[in-house]
Structures are given as structure tokens and as C-alpha cells.
């Protein structure tokens, strides 16, 4: 994939950690945005060093964090219900970017054989204390090992995108399912907030996807996109955080209202704040 500085889509600031500004470059063929410049692997980790990086902690310090974890409990149950629905039997599950391990814990409790991968040491420790088993390298796992592979808001973080997708194909059993959840830069809330949209989350988010992006990237590896589902709660969380970036204040009411508008728009335009993509290995 080719990206040119001449095809700049937007300038976006890292509001949560470094306060640096990055460009989003556009690739027309894949309808895909890329964060530029892309931090090298040896410095990328410093952009995650924040107590406010909520997916790497079980903290409930503020009302916002309490609301996040309240919704998270319900979302986890729906995620496990989804993977069970999409697979004929409860088999081997790999969750890439397992965070603090709550999804895998629930899946294991419901009969799945689980394995996680998580590069963040503190999040991984929290998960291990819950009994989650991890691999240190998904590229050395045996071929055709998993019935289901999940990446909940993870694909946007991986530097080597095409290599990663090729490895997902390698790890998946024939007839297996990949479930990917990523933000959608074509949603109402993304258009409304523009450079303040929290789901750009540069430079931690290296890629910014549309439905076309996902379909084309995975079809390149002979994987078929079957269904696209909305993540209803993401628009509220993202809009509340976007309000903070835009105004300097966390507004649950204004953010909640824009999140609701985004979901209503999504019903008609089929462009939600985040999508779940269900992809099959033929």
C-alpha cells in the first residue's frame, strides 16, 4: 500500500500523552488512513505510558471510569455470546490484545479453551492474576490452531498490518472465524468532532479503517467478510472523550447526546462509531 504526504486527510493531536501532532494520510485504493510519521517500535511504547489509558487498567477512580467498566461487563457477555453464535462448537479461542483478561475469563467460564496475547506488562499481570494463560509470540504458534481469533480494538495498533493479517489466516482453522472490532472514521461522531475525535488516538492508532478497508485487506488473504455489526456503546464513550479534547471539560451530557445522534445516523447510513467485523476462513 502506498501513502503519500500529498494525500493528507487531517492533522490530529495526541491529546492524552505526548501532545504531539500527526498527519493522517489517505490511501484511495483501500479507503484507509495511516498515522504519519509512524513512531518506530523502540519508542512506540512511551505513547502508552499514561494512567488514563483505560483498557490497560481496572481502575475506577472517576465517574467516567466507573461508567466504562459498568458497560464493559455487559459488553463482555455480548462478545462471548457472539463468538459462540458464530462457531458451531466451543473450541480454541485466541484473543490478541487481551488487556486485563476479562473477556478471556468469561469465555473460559463458558467452556472455551483460551489463549491470550498482550504486550503491555501491567495489563498482562492483572490478567494472569485472574488465571489467563498467555503466549509471548503469536507468530510461532502452530498453523490452524484456533477456531476463533478475536481482536477487540487492536488491529488499529499493529505496525505490520499486512503481515499480521497473513498470520491470522495461518493460525485459523478451515471454517474458522476472525472477529475484529475497530473504530470507523466515516461515522457521524468522527465527522462531527473532526481533529478532536478521540478514536483517532494518534499515534497509538496507526491505522484508521472504513468498511471498505477491512473488506479489501482481508480479501487479499482469501478471507471473506460475512457480517458487520455496530458497537452501540462506543459512540458514547468516544464522544464524551472527544468533548474533553475539544473543550477541556468532560461533558457526559453533551457527549452522550452526540453519541446518541451518531447511533441514530448509523441506523440509516450504516456507519457506526465502531464496527465489529465477522470474517470467515473459507
For residue 69, the domain's CATH number is 3.40.50.150
Is the whole model's pTM more than 0.75, yes or no? Answer: yes
φ and ψ at 99, to 5 degrees?
Answer: 60, -130
Residue partners of 264: CB distance under 8 A and separation at least 6: none
- Quote the domain boundaries for residue 82: 5-37+61-281
pLDDT of residue 89: 86
Predicted confidence at residue 64, as pLDDT, reads: 54
Locate 190 and state its grid cell.
Answer: 468522527
- pLDDT attached to residue 74: 79
How many residues would you count in the chain?
282
Rg for the chain (alpha carbons), in Å? 18
- Residue 179 falls within a domain, yes or no? yes
Nearest to 23 by CA among 32, 35, 14, 15: 35
Query: Per the structure, how many domains does the chain have?
Result: 1
Q: What is the mean pLDDT of residues 72-96?
A: 90
In a domain, 123, yes or no: yes
Residue 176 lies in a domain: yes
Q: Is residue 53 part of a domain?
A: no
Q: What pLDDT score was predicted for residue 13?
A: 98
Model confidence over 213-236: pLDDT tens digits? 999 999 999 999 999 999 999 999
pLDDT digits (tens, 9 = 90+) for 27-70: 999 999 999 999 998 899 899 877 654 455 555 556 556 665 56
Return the pLDDT at 52.
Answer: 53
Q: Does residue 44 lie in a domain region?
A: no
Q: What is the pLDDT of residues 104-160, one digit of tens each?
A: 999 999 999 999 999 988 889 999 999 999 999 999 999 999 999 999 999 999 999
Interval 158-186: pLDDT, tens: 999 999 999 999 999 999 999 999 999 99
Residue 29 lies in a domain: yes
Q: What is the pLDDT of residue 8?
A: 93
> Is residue 45 in some structural domain?
no
pLDDT tens per residue, range 223-274: 999 999 999 999 999 999 999 999 998 888 999 999 999 999 999 999 999 9
Residue 243 in domain: yes
At residue 70, the pLDDT reads: 61
Amino acid at each position: 500500500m502506498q501513502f503519500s504526504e500529498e494525500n493528507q486527510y487531517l492533522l490530529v493531536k495526541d491529546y492524552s500523552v505526548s501532545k504531539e501532532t500527526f498527519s493522517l494520510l489517505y490511501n484511495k485504493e483501500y479507503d484507509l488512513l495511516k498515522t504519519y510519521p509512524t513512531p518506530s517500535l523502540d519508542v512506540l511504547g512511551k505513547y502508552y505510558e499514561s494512567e488514563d489509558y483505560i483498557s490497560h487498567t481496572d481502575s475506577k477512580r472517576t465517574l467516567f471510569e466507573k461508567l466504562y467498566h459498568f458497560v464493559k461487563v455487559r459488553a463482555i457477555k455480548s462478545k462471548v455470546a457472539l463468538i459462540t453464535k458464530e462457531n458451531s462448537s466451543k473450541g480454541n479461542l485466541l484473543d490478541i490484545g487481551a488487556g486485563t483478561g476479562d473477556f478471556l475469563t468469561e469465555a473460559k467460564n463458558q467452556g472455551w479453551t483460551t489463549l491470550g496475547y498482550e504486550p503491555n506488562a501491567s495489563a498482562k499481570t492483572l490478567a494472569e492474576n485472574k488465571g489467563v494463560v498467555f503466549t509471548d509470540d503469536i507468530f510461532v504458534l502452530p498453523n490452524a490452531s484456533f477456531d476463533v481469533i478475536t481482536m477487540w480494538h487492536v488491529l488499529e495498533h499493529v505496525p505490520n498490518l499486512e503481515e499480521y493479517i497473513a498470520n491470522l489466516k495461518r493460525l485459523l482453522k478451515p471454517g474458522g472465524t476472525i472477529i475484529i472490532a475497530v473504530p470507523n472514521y466515516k461515522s457521524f461522531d468522527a465527522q462531527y468532532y473532526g481533529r478532536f475525535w478521540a478514536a483517532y488516538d494518534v499515534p497509538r492508532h496507526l491505522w484508521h479503517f472504513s468498511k471498505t478497508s477491512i473488506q479489501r485487506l482481508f480479501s487479499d488473504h482469501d478471507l471473506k467478510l460475512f457480517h458487520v455489526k455496530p458497537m452501540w456503546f462506543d459512540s458514547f464513550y468516544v464522544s464524551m472523550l472527544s468533548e474533553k479534547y475539544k473543550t477541556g471539560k468532560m461533558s457526559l451530557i453533551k457527549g452522550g447526546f452526540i453519541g446518541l445522534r451518531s447511533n441514530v445516523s448509523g441506523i440509516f447510513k450504516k456507519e457506526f462509531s465502531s464496527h465489529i467485523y465477522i470474517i470467515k476462513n473459507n
